[in-house]
Amino acid sequence: MKLGQRLSEEQIQEMRGLALAGKSALQISKVVGTSPATVRSYMQKWGIDYRVDKKEGNFPPNLLAEWDKLHERYGTKK
């Protein structure tokens, strides 16, 4: 897609459907034919999280919850 070119309503709806299906901004941009930055701005406007590959860390959630439980008294001021 050329710089400054407008998206049609069909492209916007297709982009929204792919975003709701969990596709990344890069994948959507290849299908629709626009830049990933444009896709990200639309997803942000719609309130859809475009950061699909978020890093959670290497620790399992139950271990982190246990750690928080054991150390919660140190984080509070009395």
Q: What pLDDT, in 10s, does the model give residues 58-77?
A: 778 788 888 888 877 766 65
What is the mean pLDDT of the segment spanning 4-33? 87
| Rounded mean pLDDT, 47-57 | 66
Greatest extent of the chain over all pairs of C-alpha atoms, in Å: 60
pLDDT of residue 31: 92
User: Is residue 55's pLDDT more than 60?
Assistant: no
**How remote is the C-alpha of 33 from its chain's centroid?**
19
Helix (H, G, I), strand (E, B) or coil at 4: coil
Which pLDDT value is given to residue 57? 67
* Neighbouring C-beta atoms of residue 58, cutoff 10 Å: 6
